Amino acid sequence: MDALVRRTVLDTLVLAAATATSVAHAQATPPSPPTVIIVKAAHLIDGRGGAPLSPGMVRVEGERIVAVAASLPVPAGAKVIDLGDATLLPGLIDLHTHLTGARNVHWEDALTRTTPGHDALWGARNALVTLRAGFTTVCDMGPTWPFVDVDLRDAINAGAVLGPRMMVAGNYVSATGGAGDARQFSIYVDVPLVKNLADGPEEITKAVRTNFKNGADFIKILSTGAVLSKGIPPGAQQYSEAEIQAAVTEAGRWGRQVASHAHGAGGIIASIKAGVRTVDHGSYLNDEAIELLKASNRRTFYVPTLYTAVAVEQEGAANGIPAAERERNRQIKDAEYGGFKRALAAGIPIGFATDAVVIEHGENAKECAVRGQLGEAPMACIVAATSLDAEIMGWSDRVGSVEAGKYADLIAVPGDPLRDITQLQKVGFVMKGGAVVREELARR
Ligand SMILES: [Zn+2]
């Protein structure tokens, strides 16, 4: 891994040097047309749920896809990337990550034991690991040190750091004593620059405005307690419908969306009624909630994070998760898995997310394996992690499928993920915006 990270960083420096040279060159001569790259593989799944193309070819010019077919002409001078027996897919999307989080410190200890630099450095590392695992787009649900995710997004967009395209929450909005209250210390201790607690519609409205002013793309609110928290238990509702509504209304004025962390049924139902975009985790999803989701007509989506239950069970103790929080995890797991099966049976769309940091960064595709064990078809999980997630983000115009006009965000896995969904964990080719990030699967 270390060698691969070094190689990728080196590639970036070489790329930066090459870009600088071509900029200097461009001043003397007219701009040359973008490089044409032809990517081909035995199979191509485009992310929209239809039958795969076998074989599949994609023509990339600059940062965009310009053509997709079973066979395409190869123009003179084009670079050809031949992925042999592999399956090409769109870059994957994760709707719930915490890229700035590391497992060496529990988030409730972060304010007393770390600085924002910790989140920034681990964020850069985790962004690269996530991208190399095939996740070319994420919604980041925020750091403990507010707005470091804004800086990470901007550094990625500026080309200073390699990572996925990001939409960021900036600073999650929590009730006092609740799921996002990291102040698990004496009332005589304060961290004056970190303000993420808001109670009542007026404070929530102000928190939403403050977040957008400081660079957030969307709002994350914590409507119920959490599993990995000393605060109110996960089943308990923490924000009233009126408080959630205040967040949705103010975000709507900015043309933006709200993600609602909600485990208990009360918080799930209040969130759907208030019109949030996503109900994240959604552990105690019941029939009433499913009916409301259906009636919302693709306004609100259920976005579970199921592999977390396994990760906390198997790796939690080693990662310093307290026994009381592991017990919360044990109690909620059956409800969580039952809710997913109910949603599957009801045929509602199910977004794809992982809560990475609770799971190891880069292991995001394991979520599809759990969903498969609970009865979901491989193609349904692939659609969830590509075109459906893009729809939920409002980014269907740029990512989520292998189609002309979209960003050239492509990945490849060995063999056939429709037969064995765990192949998604073996990504061996990643391209983001036409730039190759890794290509072990390419034939030389
Ligand atoms: Zn989370």
Per-residue pLDDT at 179 = 85
Percent of the chain exceeding pLDDT 90 equals 78
Q: Alpha-carbon distance 432 to 163, whole Å?
A: 9
Per-residue pLDDT at 22 = 46
* CB contact at 8 A, 59 and 65: yes
For residue 427, report the distance from its CA to the centre of ligand 1, in Å.
24
For residue 141, report the distance from its CA to the centre of ligand 1, in Å.
6
Q: Which domains does the chain have, with CATH numbers?
A: 33-90+401-438 (2.30.40.10), 92-393 (3.20.20.140)
**Looking at residues 13-39, what average pLDDT do you find?**
61
More confident residue, 191 or 241: 241
With a cut of 70, say whether residue 383 has pLDDT above it. Answer: yes
Q: What is the pLDDT of residues 218-246, one digit of tens each?
A: 999 999 988 887 778 888 999 999 999 99
- Alpha carbons within 13 A on the beta-carbon side of 12: 16
Judged by average pLDDT, the poorest of 98-102, 189-193, 426-430 is 189-193
With a cut of 50, say whether residue 167 has pLDDT above it. Answer: yes
For residue 140, report the distance from its CA to the centre of ligand 1, in Å.
9
For residue 167, report the distance from its CA to the centre of ligand 1, in Å.
14
For residue 51, report the distance from its CA to the centre of ligand 1, in Å.
34
Q: What is the pLDDT of residues 2-22, one digit of tens each?
A: 444 444 444 544 444 444 444
For residue 351, report the distance from its CA to the centre of ligand 1, in Å.
14
Give how far Cα 24 sits from Cα of 10, 12, 15, 16, 261, Å. Answer: 21, 18, 14, 12, 49
Q: What is the pLDDT of residues 251-260, one digit of tens each?
A: 999 999 999 9
Give how far Cα 26 sits from Cα of 32, 62, 289, 323, Å. Answer: 8, 16, 57, 61
More confident residue, 260 or 31: 260
Per-residue pLDDT at 146 = 95
For residue 177, report the distance from its CA to the centre of ligand 1, in Å.
17
For residue 361, report the distance from its CA to the centre of ligand 1, in Å.
13
pTM: 0.92
Over 21-79, what HEC string results?
HHHHHHCCCCCCCCCEEEEEECEECCCCCCCCECCEEEEEECCEEEEEECCCCCCCCCE
More confident residue, 14 or 204: 204
For residue 166, report the distance from its CA to the centre of ligand 1, in Å.
15
For tokens 């102040």, the residue is 183
With a cut of 80, say whether residue 295 has pLDDT above it. Answer: yes
**Looking at residues 141-155, what average pLDDT do you find?**
96
